[in-house]
Every structure is written in structure tokens, then in C-alpha cells.
Structure 1
Amino acid sequence: MKINFAVFLIAWLCAASTFVCAQGIGGKVTDNRQQPLVGASVYLMKDSVLVKTALADASGMFSFSGVKGGTYHIQVSKVGFVLHKTGLLKPDTSLILTLQPEAKELKEIVVTSRRAFVEQKLDRTVVNVDALISNAGATALDVLEKSPGVLIDQSGAISLKGKGGVKIYIDDKPTYLSGSELENYLRSLASSAIDQIELMSNPPARYDAAGNGGVINIRLKRNKSKGFNGGLNLSYAQGSYAKTNNGMNFTYRYNKINLFGNFSYNVNNGFNDLDINRHFLTNEGLPDYDFLQNSFIRRKSGSYNAKVGLDYYFSEKSTFGVVVNGLLNPGNVNTLNKSSFINRAGYIDSTIVALNRQENRFRNGSLNLNYRHRFEKEGQEITFDADYLRYQNNIDQSFDNTGSLPDGGITTNELLTGHLPSNIRIWSGKTDYAHPFSDGFKLESGLKSSYTQTDNVAAYFLTQGGKTTPDYGKTNHFIYKERISAGYLNLNKSWKRISVQLGLRFENTRSDAHQLGNIERPDSAFQRSYNGLFPTAYFEYKLDSTGTHSINLNYGRRIDRPYYEDLNPFLSPLDKFTYYTGNPFLRPAYTNNLELSYTFKNITAAFNYSKTKDEVNETIEIVDGIYYSRPGNLGQIVVKGASVDAGFDLAKWFNFHLYGSLTNIHTTSQFYTGLLNTQGTFVFVRPVFKFNLPSDWTAQLDAGYQSKVTNAQFVASARGKINAAMTKRFSPSLSLSLVGNDLFYTFKNAGDINNLANVKANFLNRSDTRTVVLSLNYRFGQAITGLRKHNANGAESEKNRVKN
């Protein structure tokens, strides 16, 4: 495989160096934030005479083909921006044109156009975080929950347009986390550090194929300014418990050096009040006995998050960069668990009280080295990235279980302790090459190779009657190694009314797993190797010359590899009757996605369809009264949906945004209890009302409602919440916000668990969602344009599969 990859690399580099450009003038139009300016008017002039005109497409690209010899200049205009004029140009030229927003000074206050809350692109939906003032003082998880089409379930799993398996990226770099650690990380990231959220249900080929539900890319703020500048956000939240979320970002630019960073400190102080009720039946379907369980889970953690980077500009064309990331997240979880057995007569038969304690010490660090070289032709560039990441998690657990009879007599008293160290190392390298042609075509290609090694240990000891012995049934040691090699091609072209983007990605995966045994359990091991081709296609047709009406169609195939921890057959207890365990026999899941959308001004209506084979999902099995939660492959899941996203400026002082969707999920699979065949349709609505008031006051009211959701084995009850916010801007750099979340405390997770053998089960989970947040935001520095921005490292999807 190493020889094949080397041959592939050499062939690719040779091909990249042999491109030949045709005659023409073309390029890209962007704003001062380097975002494409869709619909900008581009005029080709010769001696002050208009020769040709063009409109910038969804990627900001334009081109003039068949240009004869001589010299020309270009003018670019768009409403809200200053007219841009170039110097003299010759044919066979490609360039990037940056337009500055129009601004006027009135009593020392600069007024510019507002950023829309949601923007639609050819291959993604972009959410501007600061446009929603209730995001002030919030966390990244809160911001995601308010984004169009994003749902977060009772276990913290994130879905997009009804599909799970979503991968979370930060600045085009994967978080490499999942489960509770991803949830904790997103809670540690302050919303004040976030600039945009990109929602990609069908990502282009340059992204790893992993993630059946797509990719959510969180772009952090990076000030483009000379000297030292940045932003500071301080917030205090009060619910049942106090919390705080603080962040700072900065940039220092001097000569050939650009230093930047983001820091955040978070105190997460909350609870979960969880009821799980299991009603056991006889073989004839009659009531037998009940097992009623309440867990009050008290969580405390303090997160320290840091990112520091340095760019060094060797020349106008070449830049070297280094980025260091670090996360320290110590915390503890104390759970009081009360379980009661109720006999057929309705009386308590016995009770178990468990005092569970867990201390976590999670930390990770990463190093990225990157190099970018721009060629003479504008838009032609090559980049290289090398990454090393390490994750360490040490968990100490104790489960003190006491069983008693109704008369107070003690039946059992035992203490289970566990030590669970986990280490994950990831090495990755990638290179990308982009080549624009003068006729408007642009070709992108790339190669990537990654290697991951995980080492997980679980050592459990049981104390009964004053005697402590190893618990070999739960003790384990699991080692997993994986290599992924990939290459892709992506081609795009825009005409006056048609834009096309086609991509193809190839990935080879080789894995090696080893479960070490003990005196009671034998060794086991497995190896796998598989290949995959993942095509993507995007088509846009503008129904009129201005692009007011347009139709988009896109298709993509994706893969979801199991999380590393889900492959680990560890048995982790919540109490002596409830266990979470992994599944080393999980297979990768494959999904085909298709979406058709129509856009009229700020209104987009979309229809989506996806079909997934072998989706990895949580499954519940009850054996001899013991509740086991483990990941499993579900045979087939079909998701069909329709959505509307619309924004309206109803008055100068009043803006209204609405996102609504209708989604049907149909699951069929062989299951523990036979055939699993479930289907349900749910509605999701999220309106946002924004009021611009006198004296620089802004008010906002937003809400979210989700009807009952049927997904595989679970039926989640309807839920919703209402939020309100008020902001006072004292100056262009200083503002104060007051936010109220879940005002009526209606955002609770409840539902039923189906397809259990002779058992009916339901759950209700209440958490600290009703909060009041006071947030202070301060910005300093002066914005400039033209800074280099490196957004992609080589460790793409592996990071998202870390689960602790």
C-alpha cells in the first residue's frame, strides 16, 4: 500500500505541473471577508469602451473567453459596495477582486449593511452567528441548536435534516470528538469566538467522505487587522446553578509575521434528572413487575481551550504556518441512583440505592504545520499539511450499591471501582492543488494519508464483605489501529446561468483490532480492508439574468466509519442493572444523498432524500432484567424531507426569519426481537423575530418546536422552547446583552423505547435549560483585508471518531 500511495503521489504531482491555460480573462469577486460576492456585475473595458459583461456565480467566479490581444481593464459593481476598477490587463489573466462595503459617517457612527442570519451557497448553508443576538453569552452547542435543520437529541447526538452521523469541524479541522466529550467541548467554546457555521448535508469532494449526515464546520473569528487587535467576551449565566463562559480572540500582524489565537474558559455547572421506567410482561403479554429508576446526575467541570497560530510570509507567493491547539477539561459527575422493583400487586418488593462518582481528566493537544504556495496565475496554488494529535482521558469510577427490603433490611452491599485510561494518537498528511483555467473551469485535486492508534484500558475491582477482587467480566484492554489513504478530483465551471461542480473521492481503509484477554476471557482480534468511491455533483440554474430565481440539484455518496470507542467491547456500568457496551463487529455505513432546492430572493424551498445501509445507531436490549445499551448496524434507513428557509425585512426596524421542515424517517432491520420496522413523520419550526429599536437597542424573540420523532427503536416526544434577548450597543466596540433561554421550561427530553422482549420502557430527562445570561462584548482594532487564511489541515475525519 505504501508503494501504491507513493506512485499515486508522484503521478498526481506530475499531472499538476502539466496544466496549460487557454486565452481569456477571469477570476473571482469577494468581499472584505473573502466571501464570494454572488451576482456582482463585472464589465470588461477596452479604452473606456464596454466589450463584455458577466455576473459572478455562486462561487464568486467570472470569466471572459475568446479575448483578443491588447490591454483591458475591469470594473466590478454591486449594491452596497464601492465600485472597483483594475489597472491595465492582458489576455490570459486570472485575478481576485475584493470589493469594500459602502460606508457613510454620521455623528462618528459608521453605518454598513447588516449580515443576514442565513446565507445559501451552492454547496452549503452559512449561518452568521452574531446576527442572532440571543447567541450572546451562549456556547457553541447552544448556537448549533438554533441553526436551521440542526437537532440535538436527549443523548447529545447531533443530526442535520433528520440524519445522524454528522461530523463537526472547527475551521475545516475535525474536532475528533464524539459523545459526551464532543458535547463538553462545544459547551466550552464561547459563541463570541464563532464567526460562521457552515451546514453541509452533502459536502464537496475535498472533505473526507466520512459522515452520513454531512459536515458542520464552525469558523472561528480571526481579526484581519494591523498591529494588535481582537475581542473579549465575558458572560455569567444563572439557572438552577451558576455558569460562566468567557472567550478572547486576537491577531497581531507586523511585516512578514501574523500571530493569532483564541482562548476560552468555561465553568459548566448543571444537572440531569433522568427517569427510566421498565415495565416487564409475562410471555402472554400480561403485567409482571416494574423496575422504576431515577438518576439525579450532578455535573461540574472547568474547561480551558486554547488555539495559537503563526503565519510567516516568505514572499508574496509563499507562506509557512504553524497552529497549536490545546484543551484541558477536568470535571466530576456525582449520581444518586434510586431503583425500585414493584411487584404485580403494585407494592415495592426491593430497593437499590447507588452512589456513583466519576472523575474525568480529559486533555488533548495538536500540532499542525502547513505551507502554501501561489503560482503566477491567480487562483493556482498548492498546499501541504502535516498533523499530529494526541488525546488522553483518565476516568476513575466508583459505584456504591446498597440493596434493601421494604422493612429496611439490607440485602446487598457492594462497591465497584474502575480505572479507565485512554490514549489516542493520530498522524496525518495531505496536499491539495487548485488550478483555474482561463475559460472558467477550475480543477482541484488532493491526496491524504492518515494513521490512528487507540489504546484503551478498563480495570475494575469488586469489594464485597470487606474483600476486594478483580472483576474480570468488566476488565478489558483494547488496541485499535487504522490507516486511511485517499485522493480526490473536483471540477467546477460557471456560465451565465448554469453552474456545475463535479467531484470524485477514493478512500482505502485498513484496520487492525486486538482485544487482550485475562484469566477469564480469551484474546480476540480482527482485520479489515475495504475501498470506496464517493462521487459528488452540484448543479445550479438561474431562471433569470439577475439570479433572483434559481434551481439547485446536488447528489453525494458518503461513509460513516464506527467511532473508535464504539468498537471497544468494554462494559461500562451506570448501575448494576444498566450497562453501556461497545461492539467490535460494527460495519461501516454508506449513504446516498439527493437534494433539490428552489431559491427566490431570500426564500429557499428544498426537498431531500437519503438512503443509508448499515447505519450505526444506539440499540437497547434487556436480558434477564439487565439493560444493555450498545451501538449496532441497522439494515436500512430512508429519510425524506421538505424544508423552507426564508428571511424578510418587513420594516427598517423589524426582521423576520423562519425555518420549517417536514421529515419522514423509515427504518427496517433485523433486530434482537425480530424485524424492526418503524416509520414516522415530524415537524420542526424555528421562527426568529428581530427588532431594531432607538438609541442602539436591539430586541429578539425566537422559538423552536419539534413534534414527536420516530427514529429506529426510539420515539421522542414533542418539545419546544422560547428565548428572548435584548442588546444595548454603547459604541461600535462595546455592547451588553441580556438573554433568557427556555423561558417556560418546556425543553425536556421524553419518549419511549420500543422493540424490547416482553418489556415496555420510557424515559424523561430534565436538565438546566432555563437560564438568564448577562454578556459583555468588547472589540478592539481596525479591520483590513488581504490576510492569508489557512483553513484545512490533514487530520480530517479521524478526529470526529474519538468517543469517550
Structure 2
Amino acid sequence: MKLLIMAFLAIGLCFAPDFLFAQTISGKISGKVADENGRPVEGAAISLMRLSDSIPVKYELTLAGGSFNIGISSTGSFYLKVASVGKMPFQSGQIAVDAQHLLISLNPIIMQTSVKSLQEVVITSKKAFLEQKIDRTVVNVDALISNAGTTALEVLEKSPGVNIDQAGQISFHGKSGVAIYIDDKPTYLSGSDLENYLRSMPSSTLSQIELMTNPPAKYDAAGTAGIINIKTKKTKVKGFNLGMSFGLRQSRYTATNNSMDFNYRKDKINVFGTFAYTFSNGFNDIDINRSYFYNAGQPSGALTQNSYIRTKSSGYNAKLGMDLYSSENTTIGVLFNGIIRLPDQFNNSKGQLFNVAGQPDSSIISKNKEQGKFKNSSVNLNYKHTFKKDGPELTANLDYLAFATDNNQTFLNQSQATTGSVSVDQLNGNLPADIHIYSAKADYSQPLAGGWKLESGVKSSYTNTNNQANYFNIVNGSAITDNDKTNHFLYKEAINAGYVNLNKDFKRLSIQAGLRIENTDSRGHQLGNTQKPDSAFNRNYTGLFPTLYLLYKLDTLGDHQVKMTYGRRIERPYYQDLNPFISPLDKYTFYIGNPYLLPSYSGNVELGYIYKDRISVTITYTDIRDRSTETIEIRNGYYYSRPGNIGSTKLYALNADASFDPASWFSLELSGDLWQLRQSSDFYTGTLKSHSTSFSGQAMLQFKLNKGWTLQTDGKYQSKQTDAQFTLAAKGRLNIAVSKTLSPRATLKLSVNDILNTNINQGAINNLYQTNASFRTLKDSRAVLLTLSMRFGKAVKDQRKHNQTGAGEESDRVKN
């Protein structure tokens, strides 16, 4: 590790004659737009286009007085397109940006009045699927047509480097422990609740996916694999504007995703909102096989089990917010969010036990039912003040979030021996939970002398959880408390953090360095019962989390760039994973918490090369200590799943992304990951050692046809991989989609996902005591989706960006 870091630092110093490292350049193009009479044109839409391929780089709107300022993050040749209602379109000549010309002031742009007034201005341009930035990769959701009619979880699964396993766990570039954010705010969810929440978000409400392996110091340090930030669509235009999307999904069963967003802007007030309704309707067909052995290795028996799980869920998501632009420099906002999800699950399972001779010994038929309710409500108050143009800026956020869940379970099992005797047992469960999270955050930025910029901030969060599990054995119609499983767990946690960040751009070299400090104080209390005594634990720990970004341009135009990043991160245990009591999943499978679970720490180093913002290649080394993951133990034929710490995890990875435009009507996007994972830890069966090399590749081809038609095909392949106890078989999928622009305000999209039905999770579970186990999970990933999107309202004008909320990283750790 030390030699690798020294090698990276040596390479960085070779590229550092100007000094350290950072982001891309900080340039600016400014000017004014007026009509032929000299009157300012307010709200004109300006597109900064790359000269080489006419791909838009940035959009801006003219302010009061017709002025505009467009920030530039890379050198090269550009031109401007300007559009406004009732005016003839304007296109500028070439604008060259290099290290000697970063601040460019243009002559006034004069727009002529159109002979025939336009009803609206519609700016159409090609949006790249991937955008590379110094600290993140940006995925434009709408650029992939097959995303239409899907959910946020499916959009994530199609993003480069992102994989989702058979349990719905999300990994990023071969690493688990990624933190999921929505609009720069942690989701406050994990496990099955995070999976189901993302399934309840229609893709029509999403704008971009930001993939960050080494997030800057201003972000919470949680997430050993980095952060995935899901950005939703926002509209802040004058007048009233409305967007609607209707999606129908047909697989074995029929489902639907629908959404509506609106905004009303007048004078200094903007009101905006989103409402979405989803109805998911699917299945999960699971085969599990277990073979048991004596100490000498001879077979002692086996179990085969098939479970057909029907899932239905209605989900309602609502957002309502208001921004008050009290002055040109000050914005005050309030935002309300609400989620209601009503899932139902029916599990019909049949298991067959075999004796040492391989003959049927007994069987069990299970009919399990779960009915749940998930509610989340939140409120955010935000404030932003810019003291002067290009000067100090202060933002502040106050957040309150409440989660309430309730899950009613019925486990009905009928066992039959070969003798014909039959026994029936029933277990009922009720699992209510309440979680309350409070957060306060403030950030301050200040330009310093010599071109340096200082950013700093503080944050405090407090979490209070109350989880109950009430289980009853039904005997002769009477409910008898099962004290082995019934429990009541209370957990409180406070996190206080502060950070400082410095950055500067030199001629060719940019540097950004940050340091974050976080203190965690946690207290857990497991209430006892007549069979189980009380137990409690207290922990207090402090960590330092440095970050470093270096970017060096090998030529004056910045066509060739190299970058290096370093970051240290933490992954705290999920709240409910600390609860030591047993929770049944089926007759043979139980979940157990782990009160001794430790936080995980990771160090991540990356060295990359970027060519013309079109091709990027990155090598990565990650060292994770005490990584938390699912572990499996077999005891007396029963299967126990619990979270555990893997002592040492090392990952070596190579990532490449590329985009090409061979013709104006054809584009190609490619992405690939090659990684090697090495793990070693003490384990139930002695020592766990795993070593695997895996590959994941993705491609998208888009053909722009005549008369508003676009054809697109995309696919993804993931090779066999081993992670801790789990070996997952190779899988892949092929999608095809077509879209038709019906009018400037309406688009119809049709796609077929997983045409070959090859996106199947299957594999084996290793390091089990005297047991071999394998599984196969078939879901309804092959589906036909039809989506209609419509937009009503006025042309884009005076768009202003809403503040991000400030709730902390605790969101990723709610697990129910």
C-alpha cells in the first residue's frame, strides 16, 4: 500500500511544476443580449456549444438587464446559440478558451425580432449519456431511451460500474458500502427499504445520476465505496408550467409508473411540486439447494427448496416547495416531502429433505404472507446568501425526517414425514418501527488572495430509533408470545462534523485539498423479557477524513489531462443491524443482528487519464478495514444470516469510459470495469479467504432517424465474481428502445428490456460448515414498457437553482 501511494505521489509531483492539484479551469464568458432597439432581452436561453461536435456544454439564461455569465470548466473552442420568444435565433462565431484567455467579455448580442412571433422556443440538442468531471461521472437519465417507464433502481442498474445483487444490495465498481443520495441529501434508507423506495420512484422524475468514488470533503464521510447522488427534475420558470408522464410496464404481470411536476413563478416567489404514483406487480422465483456432509466428507442429507414470491406494492411520492427570492443575493426556501408505500408479499414455498441415501425424508409446505406500511415525511428549511458578486457565500439547512413502518407477518408451515404424519405450526409477527432524525448544517465559501478559494462548514445530526418485533406462536387458536424472537430495541446516535476545503487553479495544474472531522456517539438498549435479559452498549469515536484532487493538463488546450485523487471514508453500521435478536425469514432461514458490529474504514487512491472529455481511463486501489457485509452460518441444518466484519478487503480496479460520434445520426457510448477483489478474515469455519477477478462492460448505440424517430440499443454484461462468501454467476441483458417526438411538447417511447431474459442472479455460498449451498433467483426483468411524456407551459425564463437540503448521512442507515 505504501509503495503504491508513493508511486502515485511521485507521478503527481512530476506533473506539478506549477504546484498542486484540483478541479478543471475556472473561466467565464460574459456579455449582454439586446434587441434591435437596444432594449435588454431578459430570459433568453443561451447554449454554449463545443465547436468540434456541436455538443452542448452548458445552458444559461440572461438576467435582468440582459446580462449573462457562463462558467467554463475546460479549455477549447466553442460558440454560442441564443434563443428567445419572438426573436430570430442567434449563433456566434468561434470563441477560443485557453490558459491565457479565461475571462472573455463579448460584444453585445443583438437579436432581431421575428417576422412571425413564435408560440414557444424549444431548444433541442443531443445530450451525452456520460459526462466526466474531476470528482464525479454524470449520467444523463433521459439520454438512455430504455430508461423510460422504469424505476430509479433500474436506472441505477444501467449506470456504468453499478451492480445490484440477488438481495437488492448496490455495489459500485466492485465495492459494496455505497451511500445513496437524492438531490444531495442522503436517503435515510438501507436494505430492503432502500430497494423498495427506489422501485417506487419513476424514472420520469429523474434528471441525472452522479457517481462519486472519492466525494469532496463537504460531503459526509459515510460510504466506503463512495456516493451515488440521484438528481430529480426541477423546473423554476416564470408563469405556470406542468409536466406529465404516463408509463405502462408489461411483463408476466402489469405495472405502471406515473408522475406529474409543476411550478408557478411570479415576481419573487416560486412554488413547485412533484407527485408520483407507482404500482409494482412482480414475482421472484427462487431455487435453493443445500447438501450436508459428515466430518469425513460423506453425504449426510440434502434440502431443496422452491419459493414463488408474488409482490404487489402501491407507492405515492409527493414533494411541495417554495422559494422566496427576497433579494438578488438572498434566497429562502422550504421543502416538504412525503412517501407512502403499501407492499404486499405472498410466498408459497415447498421444501424437500433427503436422507443420507438420497431418498425423500420429509417435506414442508409454507404459505407466508407479509403486509406492510411505510411512511416517510420530511421538512427542510434552507437559506442562501451571497454577500457580493463572486464573493463570500453562506448556505444553511435545517432538516427533520420521520419514518414509520409496520409489517404484519404470517408464517404457516405444514410438515409431512414419509410415514404420513403431518404437523402444522403458525407464527405471527408484528414489527412496528419509528425513526426520527434531526439535522442542522451550514456551509461558507470565501475567495482568498492569490486565486485560492476556501470552503468550510459544520453539521450536527441526531437520530432516535424505536424498533419492536412482536412474535406469537399460534397453538390451538391461542397466541402465545415467542420470547426468543420478541424484542424491543432503542438506539440513539449523535454525529458532529466540520470540514475545511481549499482549491486553486494554476496554469496547467489545479489542486483541491480537504479535511473532514466527524465524532460519533451511539447508545443502544435492548429491552429484555421473561427469557432474555436487558443489554446495552455505548460507543464514542472520532475520525479524520482527508481528500485530495490533482488535475494536470499535458497541453495548453487541455485535450490531454491526468488526474489523481485520494480519499478516506467510513461506513457506520445500519441501526437495526445492531439489534441482536432473531427474525425469521422462512422455516429454515433466520436473520440475526450483531451488536458487536464495527464501523468500516476505507482508503481510496485513483490515477486517471482524460482525452478531450470523451475518453477516460482510471486505475484504482482501495483498502477497506472491517468491511461490513452479510455472512451466513449453518447450524443444525438451519440457515442464519447476520452482518459481520470482514477484516481485510483490497480492491484493484481498471475503469474506462468512452463516447464517439462517427456520424451526425449515430453515437456510441462504451464503459468497462475490470477489478480484482482480495479478502481475508476470521470466520465461523476458521479463516475466510477469497480472491477473484471480474469484469463488467456496458455499451449503448443510438441512431437518430428522420421525422423525430430515434432508435437505441444498449446492453450490459457482468462476469462471474466472488465477494466474501458469495460466488455469483455471470449475467447480462440486452435492451432495445425507440422514441418518437410527436410534437415539441410530447414524446412517445417504447422499449423492451432484457430481451433474452439473461439478467438472472444465481450462484453459490461458500465457507459453510459441512454444507454446500447454491441458489437461483428469477425476476421479471424482461418487460415491454410504453411511456408518454408531455409538457405544458411557457418558455424557459429566469431559471434559478434551488438550494440543496442538508440532512446527514444517517439516511443510508435506516434498515427495516
1:423–1:152 CA distance, 2 compared to 1 (3 A) = same
Measure the CA separation in 2 of the matches of 1:620 and 1:512.
27
| Paired AA for residue 516 in structure 2 | R
The aligned runs of 1:227-238 (5 Å cut-off) are 227-238=239-250
Q: Does 1:372 align with 2:372?
A: no
Alignment of 1:29-428 (within 5 A): 58=73, 78-81=78-81, 112-406=124-418, 408-410=420-422, 412-428=423-439
Deviations 1:323-381 (A, max 9, x none): 00000001111101111111122211000111111110100100101111110142421
Q: Secondary structure at the match of 1:541?
A: strand
What code does the residue aligned with 1:114 have?
K
- Per the alignment, residue 599 of structure 1 pairs with 610
Cα displacement (A) at 1:37:
9.4
1:73 aligns to what?
Answer: none
Aligned 8 A contact 1:326 1:364 in 2: yes
Question: 3-state SS of the aligned residue for 1:605?
Answer: strand
Cα displacement (A) at 1:657: 0.6
Cα offset, 1:627, TM superposition: 0.4
* Cross-structure match for 2:700: 688
Q: Does structure 1 retain, via aligned residues, the 8 Å contact 2:45–2:796?
A: no
Question: Number of paired residues?
Answer: 744
CA distance in 2, matches of 1:228, 1:646: 40
Q: What CA RMSD, in Å, does the superposition of the two structures yield over aligned residues?
A: 2.9
Secondary structure at the aligned position of 2:154 is classed as helix
Deviation for aligned residue 1:494: 1.2
Over 3 Å counting, the alpha-carbon distance change for 1:98 and 1:245 in structure 2 is: farther
Contact 2:49–2:81 (8 Å) recurs in 1: no
Alpha-carbon distance in 1 for matches of 2:112, 2:201: 32
Correspondent of 1:457 among 444, 450, 468: 468
Q: Offset at 1:112?
A: 4.4
Name the SS of the counterpart of 2:597 in structure 1. coil
Given that 2:27 and 2:71 are in contact with CA atoms closer than 8 Å, whether structure 1 keeps it comes out as: no
Q: TM-score, normalised by structure 2?
A: 0.87
Partner of 2:485: 474
Q: Partner amino acid for 2:503?
A: N
Q: Percent identity?
A: 50
Work out which of the residue numbers 456, 464, 479 in structure 2 matches 1:445.
Answer: 456
2:156 alignment partner, SS class:
helix
**Is the 8 Å Cα contact of residues 269 and 300 (structure 1) preserved in structure 2?**
yes
Secondary structure of 1:345 counterpart: coil
For residues 676-755 of structure 1, the aligned pairs below 5 Å read 676-755=688-767
User: 1:789 Cα deviation (Å)?
Assistant: 2.2
Query: One-letter code of the match for 1:546?
Result: L
Structure 1 stretch 782-791 or stretch 366-375: which is displaced more? Answer: 782-791
Instruction: Kindly provide the CA deviation profile for residues 49-105 of structure 1, in whole angstroms up to 9, marking residues without a partner as x.
Output: xxxxxx9764x7x9xxxxxxxxxxxxx9823546599xxxxxxx99999999x9999
Structure 2: runs of 5+ lacking an equivalent: 1-24, 32-43, 58-69, 83-91, 95-101
Tell me the distance in 2 between the aligned counterparts of 1:533 and 1:78: 42
Taking the aligned partners of 2:351 and 2:457, their CA distance within structure 1 comes to: 55
1:375-402 Cα offsets, whole Å, 9 max, x none, are 0142421011111100000011110111
How much does 1:683 deviate? 0.9
Letter in 1 for 2:385: H
Q: Quote the Cα distance in structure 2 between the aligned partners of 1:465 and 1:323.
A: 52
Q: Which residue of structure 2 lines up, in the alignment, with residue 558 of structure 1?
A: 569
> What amino acid is the match of 2:578?
L
Residue 590 of structure 1 pairs with residue 616 of structure 2: no
CA apart distance, 1:35? 11
Instruction: Quickly say closer, same or farther: Cα 1:361–1:96, change in 2 above 3 A.
Output: farther
Q: Is the 8 A contact 2:122 2:795 kept in 1?
A: no
| Residue in structure 1 matched with residue 647 of structure 2 by the alignment | 635
Where 2:767 maps in the other structure, the secondary structure is coil
| Whole-Å separation in 2 of the counterparts to 1:35 and 1:576 | 61
Change over 3 Å in CA distance of 1:250–1:377 after alignment to 2: same
- Post-superposition offset of 1:292: 1.1
1:488-523 per-residue CA deviation (whole Å, 9 max, x = no partner) reads: 011111123211111100000000000000000000
Rounded Cα–Cα distance in structure 2 between residues aligned with 1:272 and 1:373 = 50
> Against the structure 1 CA distance between its residues 98 and 646, is the aligned structure 2 distance closer, same or farther, given a 3 Å change threshold?
farther
Q: Deviations over 1:656-692 (max 9, x none)?
A: 1110111111110000001101010111111111010
Matched AA of 1:596: L
8 Å Cα contact 2:305/2:349 also seen in 1: yes
Provide Cα deviations, 1:699-722, integer angstroms capped at 9, x if missing partner.
111111001011111000000110
Q: Does 1:539 align with 2:550?
A: yes
Give secondary structure in 2 for the equivalent of 1:78.
Answer: strand
User: Is 2:448 the counterpart of 1:434?
Assistant: no
Aligned letter for 1:742? D
- Matches of 1:768 and 1:96 in 2, distance apart? 56
Matched, 1:513 2:507: no
Is 1:569 aligned to 2:580, yes or no?
A: yes
Instruction: Find the aligned partners of 2:742 and 2:50 in 1 and give their Cα distance.
Output: 33
Distance 1:492 1:786 in 2: 30
Shift of 1:110: 5.3
Q: CA deviation at 1:781?
A: 3.0
Separation in 2, partners of 1:448, 1:483: 11
Q: Give the direction of change, closer, same or farther, for the CA distance of 1:760–1:36 in structure 2 (3 Å limit).
A: farther
Pairwise CA distance, 1:207:
0.4
Shift of 1:406: 3.1
Give the TM-score, by structure 1 length. 0.88
Q: 1:564 to 1:649 in 2, by over 3 A?
A: same
Q: Distance in 2 between matches of 1:598 and 1:105?
A: 46
Match runs of 1:608-623 below 5 Å: 608-623=620-635
Please tell me whether the aligned partners of residues 94 and 379 of structure 1 are also in contact (alpha carbons under 8 angstroms). no
1:38 deviates by: 9.9
Q: Secondary structure of 1:754's match?
A: strand
586-595 or 337-346, which deviates more: 337-346
> Contact 1:277–1:763 (CA<8 Å) still a contact in 2?
yes
Distance 1:774 1:756, change over 3 A: same
Compared with structure 1, are the counterparts of its residues 310 and 157 closer, same or farther at alpha carbon in structure 2 (3 Å cutoff)?
same
Q: Distance in 2 between matches of 1:377 and 1:84?
A: 28
- Residue by residue over 1:400-430, the C-alpha shift from the partner in whole angstroms, topping out at 9 and shown as x without a partner, is 11110235430x2111001110000001101
2:305–2:350 Cα contact (<8 Å) kept = yes
Amino acid at match of 2:664: K
Q: In 1, Cα distance between the equivalents of 2:355 and 2:464?
A: 49
Q: Report the CA distance between 1:436 and its aligned residue.
A: 2.0
Structure 1 residues 11-30: aligned runs within 5 Å: none
Range with bigger deviation, 198-207 or 372-381: 372-381
- Cα distance in 2, alignment partners of residues 442 and 646 from structure 1: 32
| 2-structure distance, mates of 1:493, 1:197 | 27
Give me the whole-angstrom Cα distance separating, in 2, the residues matched to 1:438 and 1:763. 61
Deviation at 1:466, TM superposition (A): 4.0
Residue 506 to residue 685, structure 1, CA distance change in 2 (3 Å): same
Structure 1 unpaired stretches of 5+? 1-24, 42-54, 63-75, 86-92
Task: Tell me what 2:560 maps to.
Answer: 549
**1:454-486 CA deviation, whole Å, 9 max, x = no partner?**
000011110234443110000000000000000
Q: Deviations over 1:532-564 (max 9, x none)?
A: 000001011111111111101100000000011
Distance in 1 between residues matched to 2:814 and 2:564, nearest whole Å: 33
CA shift for structure 1 position 26: 8.1
